[in-house]
């Protein structure tokens, strides 16, 4: 058990690390398509640039998670933040599409050092019975960074130029690096766990971990498809202007950040398994209703509903992951949870896009809705003998 004073001193540093890394990831979202097209990137190359981040993060996250269980969290967080700062310069100096792909691969490696390891640190210091509260705060930092990133990137590029946006990304992560180096304490191996972390093979025999992995992958699949095709649906189907589309996405992400805090506290008071299932069902509803929307206000209402569904489910699932992490190794458990996120982000848009090519854009949202139901079903099935539903 860690003293409350230490938790309150350490958590802001971890939140800053998560926020700055997600801000950096978000800043490049509106910039990379334009930047890559200016270098003559084709659609395939553009897809490779965006997928490179998720692919490399998926590969390295389990490795870094396991290593952090053995050697500590701080070195990985600090190295990741430092590389994030250097990557911003790489974007500026890149003069070919292939270099952008390489930079994004390195970007994903650095991302695998920050987000899952910082969240594992949060899990380490979370008192029993308060896992939802602190993971809710952690998720709030995640969505805040990812929500403000595209807004900041767009504003800075429009008024000061693309290079300034990349420099800002680097400066914020460099600041977070120095703060982490100077003020983030390392947790001794003895305090991390009473026993060595178990293998991923042994972890795969945990119904709870398999259920959590299935839930995270399925929910992220639907959310990634939503973010990929909502702008197209809103622009071509409803004739909405880019600024209104930006408002829709910002409301979804920033509201997810705000709702994550009270939702985390709720996850400590009510059945976490029930909350995960409830969040999936709400996600099914909002995704299935998107094709039926006829104007901006209806889409806005669905964005609010979508953020509510994710905010209810994610802190509860994160808290369950922390509980499993105490048995299998916190870094390893959070890494598995994060790998599901990365796979969902990579596979969702690709598979949805392939189906859209043969049908209509509505299929992307219907597929996401079905995946939310599948995620709920798999989670209930794999956790049936471990956790009470209510």
Given this model, what pLDDT does residue 194 score? Answer: 46
User: Residue 251: inside a domain, yes or no?
Assistant: yes
User: Residue 173: inside a domain, yes or no?
Assistant: yes
**Do 137 and 219 share a domain, yes or no?**
no
User: Residue 296: inside a domain, yes or no?
Assistant: yes
**Do 206 and 265 share a domain, yes or no?**
yes
**Do 178 and 241 share a domain, yes or no?**
no
**Do 218 and 322 share a domain, yes or no?**
yes
User: Residue 192: inside a domain, yes or no?
Assistant: no
User: Residue 190: inside a domain, yes or no?
Assistant: no
With cut-offs at 50, 70 and 90, classify the pLDDT of residue 389: low
The residue range of the domain holding 230 is 202-390
Question: Which tops the pLDDT comparison, 52 or 294?
Answer: 294
Given this model, what pLDDT does residue 332 score? Answer: 87
Question: Which tops the pLDDT comparison, 198 or 208?
Answer: 208
* pLDDT reading at 390 higher than 60: no
The total of other beta-carbon atoms located within 10 Å of residue 169's CB is: 29
From 138-142, 193-197, 205-209, 294-298, the region with the lowest mean pLDDT? 193-197
**Do 80 and 175 share a domain, yes or no?**
yes
- Domains in the chain: how many in total? 2
Rounded Cα–Cα distance for residues 10 and 1 (Å): 14
User: Residue 389: inside a domain, yes or no?
Assistant: yes
Rounded Cα–Cα distance for residues 160 and 284 (Å): 41
* pLDDT reading at 2 higher than 70: no
Using one digit for the tens of pLDDT, what is the confidence trace for 81-123? 999 889 888 888 888 888 888 998 998 899 899 888 998 999 8
Using one digit for the tens of pLDDT, what is the confidence trace for 207-216? 899 999 999 9
**Do 166 and 274 share a domain, yes or no?**
no
Question: Which tops the pLDDT comparison, 375 or 328?
Answer: 375
Q: What is the chain's mean pLDDT, rounded?
A: 86
User: Residue 139: inside a domain, yes or no?
Assistant: yes
**Do 130 and 242 share a domain, yes or no?**
no
Q: How far is CA 293 from CA 105, 224, 297, in A?
A: 37, 19, 9
Given this model, what pLDDT does residue 188 score? Answer: 62
User: Residue 195: inside a domain, yes or no?
Assistant: no
Q: Please say which residue of 150, 185, 220 terminates a domain.
A: 185
**Do 177 and 251 share a domain, yes or no?**
no
**Do 138 and 212 share a domain, yes or no?**
no
What CATH number corresponds to the domain at position 111? 1.20.1250.20
With cut-offs at 50, 70 and 90, classify the pLDDT of residue 218: very high
With cut-offs at 50, 70 and 90, classify the pLDDT of residue 199: low
Given this model, what pLDDT does residue 220 score? Answer: 93
With cut-offs at 50, 70 and 90, classify the pLDDT of residue 276: very high
Given this model, what pLDDT does residue 249 score? Answer: 83
**Do 85 and 206 share a domain, yes or no?**
no
Given this model, what pLDDT does residue 288 score? Answer: 96
Q: Please say which residue of 152, 185, 218 terminates a domain.
A: 185
**Do 181 and 155 share a domain, yes or no?**
yes
* pLDDT reading at 260 higher than 60: yes
Contact assessment for residue 220 and residue 201, using Cβ atoms and an 8 Å cutoff:
no
**Do 9 and 130 share a domain, yes or no?**
yes
Using one digit for the tens of pLDDT, what is the confidence trace for 123-172? 888 888 888 998 989 888 888 888 888 778 778 877 888 888 888 888 88
Rounded Cα–Cα distance for residues 382 and 212 (Å): 9
* pLDDT reading at 60 higher than 70: yes
* pLDDT reading at 65 higher than 60: yes
Q: Please say which residue of 154, 185, 216 terminates a domain.
A: 185
* pLDDT reading at 246 higher than 80: no
From 3-7, 107-111, 366-370, 377-381, the region with the lowest mean pLDDT? 3-7
Given this model, what pLDDT does residue 308 score? Answer: 95
């Amino acid at each position: 058990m860690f003293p409350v004073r230490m938790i309150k001193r350490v958590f802001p540093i971890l939140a800053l690390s998560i926020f700055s890394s997600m801000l950096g990831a978000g800043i490049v979202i509106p910039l990379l398509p334009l930047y890559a097209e200016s270098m003559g990137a084709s659609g395939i190359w553009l897809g490779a640039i965006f997928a490179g981040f998720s692919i490399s993060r998926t590969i390295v996250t389990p490795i870094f998670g396991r290593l952090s269980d053995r050697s500590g969290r701080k070195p990985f967080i600090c190295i990741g933040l430092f590389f994030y700062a250097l990557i911003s310069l790489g974007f500026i100096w890149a003069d070919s599409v292939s270099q952008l792909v390489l930079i994004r691969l390195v970007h994903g490696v650095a991302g695998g050092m920050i987000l899952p390891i910082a969240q594992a640190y949060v899990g380490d210091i979370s008192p029993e019975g308060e896992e939802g509260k602190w993971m809710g705060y952690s998720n709030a930092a995640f969505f805040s960074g990812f929500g403000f990133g595209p807004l900041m990137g767009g504003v800075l590029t429009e008024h000061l130029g693309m290079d300034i946006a990349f420099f800002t990304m680097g400066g914020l992560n460099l600041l977070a690096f120095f703060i982490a180096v100077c003020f983030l304490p390392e947790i001794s191996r003895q305090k991390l766990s009473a026993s060595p972390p178990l293998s991923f093979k042994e972890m795969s025999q945990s119904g709870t971990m398999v259920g959590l992995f299935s839930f995270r992958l399925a929910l992220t699949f639907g959310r990634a498809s939503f973010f990929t095709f909502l702008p197209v649906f809103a622009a071509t189907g409803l004739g909405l202007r880019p600024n209104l589309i930006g408002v829709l996405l910002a409301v979804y992400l920033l509201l997810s950040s705000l709702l994550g805090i009270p939702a985390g506290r709720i996850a400590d008071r009510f059945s976490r398994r029930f909350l995960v299932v409830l969040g999936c069902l709400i996600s099914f509803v909002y995704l299935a209703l998107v094709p039926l929307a006829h104007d901006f206000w209806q889409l806005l209402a669905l964005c609010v509903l979508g953020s509510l569904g994710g905010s209810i489910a994610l802190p509860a699932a994160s808290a369950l992951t922390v509980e499993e992490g105490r048995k299998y190794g916190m870094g390893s458990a959070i890494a598995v949870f994060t790998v599901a996120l990365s796979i969902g982000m990579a596979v969702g848009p690709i598979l949805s896009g392939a189906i859209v090519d043969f049908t209509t854009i509505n299929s992307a949202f219907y597929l996401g809705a079905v995946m939310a139901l599948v995620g709920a079903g798999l989670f209930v099935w794999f956790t049936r003998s471990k956790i009470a539903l209510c």
